[in-house]
Amino acid sequence: MKTNSLLTAALPVLVLALSGCRQDMHDQPKYKPYAASTFWPDGRASRPAVDGAVARGLLKIDTRLWKGRAGDGSFVTELPMPVTKDLLVRGQKRYNIYCTPCHGKLGDGEGMVVQRGFKHPPTYHSDRMRQQPVGYIYDVISNGFGSMVSYASRIPMQDRWAIAAYVRVLQFSQNATIEDVPEQDRAWLTAQAAAAPARTPVTVAAGAAQ
């Protein structure tokens, strides 16, 4: 008797629940692919892709961007993106976080862990490293080399390129001459060097960019 009473009491609730199971979401008004539409001036329901859209699964088909290599497999010699101050500043910040423990702030391989006994990485300022294309630097960051592990899972692709660009800045800063500085900035640079002779070239260069 008690079970029948419970079923009788639950029946109204069940009826209300079933009445709410409608097909409004399933049968809502919609356009099928390539159907006509009077809403858009061109009469098409399917809208054209926005500029820069990439088909799903095809983003990494750009080997220059994702692998740092040209179509023939060689390393690219130029960044696949505009070199801007924002890109270099971003590269400097990421480099200081991920790279300085081994490579040092100047890129000379005298990082803190090296000073404590870790294997010495090559300096960026050797003739061999200065002659390497920027795609090679990106590839090493992405895939590792020797004792260096891959940073592809740690650093996004855009930041790896930013770091590669900043490495080029470090190389240039340690091998530049006063003639490489724009004429309008030479007086300022000379004054800074005279006021603080102990400052490194890369620190002065960073101040000049501000």
Report which of residues 76 and 59 the model is more confident about.
76
Tens of pLDDT, residue by residue over 19-41, are 555 666 667 778 888 899 888 89
Q: State how far Cα 42 lies from the chain centre.
A: 38
Q: Taking the domains of the chain in order of start, what are their residue ranges? A: 64-182
Q: Please, how many CA atoms are within 13 Å of residue 190, restricted to the half-sphere of its CB?
A: 9
Structure tokens at 32: 């099928």
Per-residue pLDDT band at 13 (split at 50, 70, 90): low
Q: What is the largest CA-CA distance in the chain?
A: 102
Which 3 state secondary structure label does DSSP give 80?
Answer: coil
Structure tokens at 40: 């858009």
CA-closest candidate to residue 162, choices 75, 95, 68: 95
Q: Which residue has 């480099």 as its token pair?
A: 95
Average pLDDT over residues 137-141: 97
From CA 165, how far away is CA 158, in angstroms rounded? 11
Q: What is the topology classification, in CATH, of domain 64-182?
A: Cytochrome Bc1 Complex; Chain D, domain 2 (1.10.760)
Q: State how far Cα 55 lies from the chain centre.
A: 20
Q: Strand pairing partners for 148?
A: 145
Residue 133, pLDDT score: 96
> pTM value?
0.65
**In sequence order, what are the residues at sequence separation of 6 or more whose Cβ sits closer than 8 angstroms to the Cβ of residue 62?**
80
Report which of residues 17 and 77 the model is more confident about.
77
Residue 75: phi, psi to the nearest 5?
A: -70, 140
